[in-house]
Amino acid sequence: MFTTIILQIAFALLISYSTTKLLHKIKLSHKRQFSNHVISSHDNEFEIPPNFTAPFGKYPNVLGITSEMRQQFHPVVDMKDKDVLELDLSNTFGASQLIRPEDADDYIQSYKERLDSEKSQYTIGKYDENRVNLYSSEMFENENNAIDGYEGKRTLHIGIDLGAPVGEAVHSIWNGKVHSVGYNSHLGDYGYVIVVEYDLKEMRSADGPDGIDKFWVLYGHLDSSTIERHDVGENVVRGAILGNIGNVKENGGWTSPHCHFQVSTIEPSTHDMPGAVKIEDRSRSLLQYPDPRYIVGDLF
């Protein structure tokens, strides 16, 4: 009987050890899956902030970007020593933000006339902002208009808007390769746009945090020089000019000139990303389209 008890204890210890080892292996395996873009919010692996427009650092850092890495990125738009205004677009109505092509010439003239009188030409439009009334064009209202698996009435902004004067240069954040470039013509769309593929392997230190190495960045609402400057597959270097801030005839009809800067951990099917998603897709989108502030810094 004593021998039987000893065998039972030994068997229980073996099962416990094997289970612990298996769980540890699963954990390590999960961490390695970053490179295959397998990301999960289960078991508090990544915590989604409960409130919109949460402070910097509260969102999942799926790219594993450290402050040291962030220092190496080139600014998208030069805002150094500029008077930058932080926008709140959560209750802004879209009809006042879009101009149809037939009215564009008159608007451009009035825009030039008021440039000198405006206090700030530089603005920040927030990530994870629920812009319930802003997206008024049918592109955002169409329940059947799907972009990379995101559809429905889309109000949640998942990029950062970097507002600057028309003609201001927009730069590549790092060495990369042009994934796609083109013109998205719908009212309220990106207008001239470029997507660049990047890889963080050369930047990442051996003892740094785990993260996804390959990612894509969309630079939207640019000018026509974007498609004149660049071809698909072309290599671009850190700081290279990708295009300039477009006017209302080039940027999709937006009256406030800006660059929509969006990061993606999934390869887009074309020169497009869902710049806004429906609220029900928030958790998924904040993992697949992480907070750009991990790259551009604490802008709000």
Q: What's the CA dihedral at 7, 8, 9, 11 to 10 degrees?
A: 80
Compute the distance between CA of residue 226 and CA of residue 271 in angstroms, rounded to an integer: 12
pTM: 0.78
Q: How confident is the model at residue 236 (pLDDT cuts 50, 70, 90)?
A: very high
Question: Is domain 42-296 classified as CATH 2.70.70.10?
Answer: yes
Compute the distance between CA of residue 185 and CA of residue 295 in angstroms, rounded to an integer: 28
Could you report the per-residue pLDDT of 204-218, keeping only the tens digit for each?
988 888 899 999 999
pLDDT over 70 percentage in the chain: 71
Whole-number mean pLDDT of the chain? Answer: 81
Q: How confident is the model at residue 155 (pLDDT cuts 50, 70, 90)?
A: confident
Q: How confident is the model at residue 119 (pLDDT cuts 50, 70, 90)?
A: low
Q: Dihedrals φ, ψ of 6, to 5°?
A: -60, -45
- What is the reported pLDDT for 38? 40
The answer to whether 261 and 142 are in contact (CB under 8 A) is: no
Compute the distance between CA of residue 274 and CA of residue 251 in angstroms, rounded to an integer: 16
Does residue 107 carry a pLDDT above 50? no
- What is the reported pLDDT for 99? 59
